[in-house]
Amino acid sequence: PETPGALLVLAHVADRTQQHAERERLLARARDIDPENTTIIVAQAQARFDQRDFEGTAGLVGEAMALDPESVDAHVMAGRLALVQG
């Protein structure tokens, strides 16, 4: 599959089966295809968050918000990050 949507679904499956490297690879491929897609960027942020890479999460959330300041998913991820970081 070479569409961002299909790659996002496969990344979700990889996440559910604990294949973290595959999840990251699929999300990176989706982003290569559609680099300004905030859904993909937030999914990458979620993957980084799950790996406790909070600096990487923050950078990706910032990118998503810069592209779409009204992105609910980006704001939710920013909130989750703030809760974890205190």
Q: Among all chains, which residue has been given the structure tokens 């600096």?
A: 55
Q: With the CA atoms of 69, 5, 49 and 23 taken in that order, what torsion angle do they form, in degrees rounded to the nearest 10?
A: -160
User: Residue 49: its pLDDT value, please?
Assistant: 97
Q: What's 35's DSSP letter?
A: T
User: Residue 86: its pLDDT value, please?
Assistant: 81
Residue-level pLDDT, tens digit, the chain, 86 residues: 689 999 999 999 999 999 999 999 999 999 999 999 999 999 999 999 999 999 999 999 999 999 999 999 999 999 999 999 98
Quick check: 4 and 30 in contact, CB under 8 A? yes
User: Residue 2: its pLDDT value, please?
Assistant: 86
Q: What contacts 47, CB < 8 A, 6 or more positions away?
A: 11, 15, 20, 23, 24, 27
| Model pTM score | 0.93
